[in-house]
């Protein structure tokens, strides 16, 4: 079975539904608190596993109840958690998430043990059988850069979801095969204003494709654009009614990684990712919202290819 190795973050999401997000200095009464396994790395690991990939997760948690719960949850999902260590003296990462009535979220992350995953913690054996190495930016940048180098040396296809937004060194970009960003993240890398609409986003993707072979810019309800060596174009979004968009991007990226690990072409893998992201937005929570392969395939079968 094709393997996806994920080097990234694990968080416990503390989620509160709100009628609207508060303005600065304002208190808004919300609904009942929910504790939901999350973290971009762990979310994408679960997404890839549910889409059919064999997945190994590399990361750090605290030696606490949240950390234990996150590891056990990954094991239940069939993810190899042998690359995750629980650290004494560190708290497990936590995300504070408010979700409004339209399904839009606002997130504050306390990295905790995620910030202690260093380059020296990376074991090349975790990458030697990976078809795809999947990275994000919720662990230290130097660790992401080191992982990308190791992934390239191991022959894996290196995919970076460059979130949260931050500038990236050219040395890291040079070790990537696929870069996934939203409009704001693309603007951060290009030092421009966020592109509005598919046409401007495609121009941004082309600019980024000067440094990375394949670039994907996601646009939410407007779909996504892609540019690079496998062609370029715009894929519209699937029409769904959003409930909670918290992990929609992670569902997309994890499914994309699973598709690429199977040997799919980029456009087919992007469609699989788009279906997974759309389904995730229709359900509350992070990992609980991530769809199974048969659900994504059913959505795809209801839509003719572009």
Which pTM does this prediction carry? 0.91
Q: Are 249 and 162 in contact (CB under 8 A)?
A: no
- Listed range (75-89, 257-271, 277-291) with the worst mean pLDDT: 277-291
* Phi/psi at 38 (5° precision): -155, -150
- Which residues sit opposite 62 in a β-bridge? 87
Exposure letters 120-129 (e unless 16+ CB within 10 A, then b):
ebbeeebbee
Q: Which of 126, 177, 244, 250 is catalytic?
A: 250
Q: Name the DSSP letter for residue 96.
A: E
Q: Check residue 1 and give its pLDDT.
A: 67
Among residues 251, 248, 270, 243, which one has the least CA distance to residue 259?
A: 270
Q: Check residue 41 and give its pLDDT.
A: 96
Q: Check residue 247 and give its pLDDT.
A: 82
pLDDT tens across 185-199, in order?
999 999 999 998 999
- Which residues sit opposite 34 in a β-bridge? 15
pLDDT grade, residue 305 (50/70/90)?
very low
Q: Is the pLDDT of residue 306 over 80?
A: no
Q: What tokens were used for 89?
A: 């003296």
Q: Are strands 224-228 and 233-235 parallel, antiparallel or unpaired?
A: antiparallel
Reply yes or no on whether 13 is catalytic: no
């Amino acid at each position: 079975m094709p393997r996806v190795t994920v080097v990234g973050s694990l968080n416990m999401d503390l989620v509160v539904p709100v009628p609207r997000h508060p303005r600065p200095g304002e208190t808004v009464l919300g609904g009942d608190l929910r504790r939901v396994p999350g973290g971009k790395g762990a979310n994408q690991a679960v997404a890839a596993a549910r889409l059919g990939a064999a997945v190994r997760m590399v990361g750090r948690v605290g030696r606490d109840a949240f950390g234990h719960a996150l590891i056990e949850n990954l094991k239940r999902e069939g993810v190899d958690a042998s690359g995750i260590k629980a650290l004494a003296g560190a708290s497990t990462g936590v995300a504070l998430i408010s979700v409004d009535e339209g399904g839009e979220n606002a997130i504050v992350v306390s990295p905790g043990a995620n910030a202690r995953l260093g380059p020296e913690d990376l074991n090349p054996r975790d990458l030697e059988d990976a078809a795809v190495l999947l990275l994000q930016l919720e662990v230290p940048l130097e660790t992401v850069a080191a992982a990308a180098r190791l992934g390239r040396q191991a022959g894996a296809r290196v995919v970076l979801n460059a979130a949260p937004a931050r500038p990236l060194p050219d040395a890291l970009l040079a070790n990537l095969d696929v870069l996934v960003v939203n409009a704001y993240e693309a603007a951060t890398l290009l030092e421009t204003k966020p592109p509005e609409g598919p046409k401007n986003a495609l121009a941004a993707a082309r600019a980024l494709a000067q440094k990375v072979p394949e670039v994907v810019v996601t646009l939410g309800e407007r779909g996504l654009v892609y540019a690079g060596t496998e062609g370029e174009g715009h894929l519209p979004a699937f029409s769904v009614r959003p409930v909670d968009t918290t992990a929609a991007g992670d569902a997309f990226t994890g499914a994309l990684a699973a598709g690429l690990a199977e040997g799919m072409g980029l456009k087919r893998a992007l469609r699989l990712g788009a279906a997974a992201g759309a389904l995730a937005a229709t359900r509350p929570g992070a990992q609980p919202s991530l769809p199974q392969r048969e659900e994504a395939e059913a959505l795809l079968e209801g839509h003719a290819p572009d």
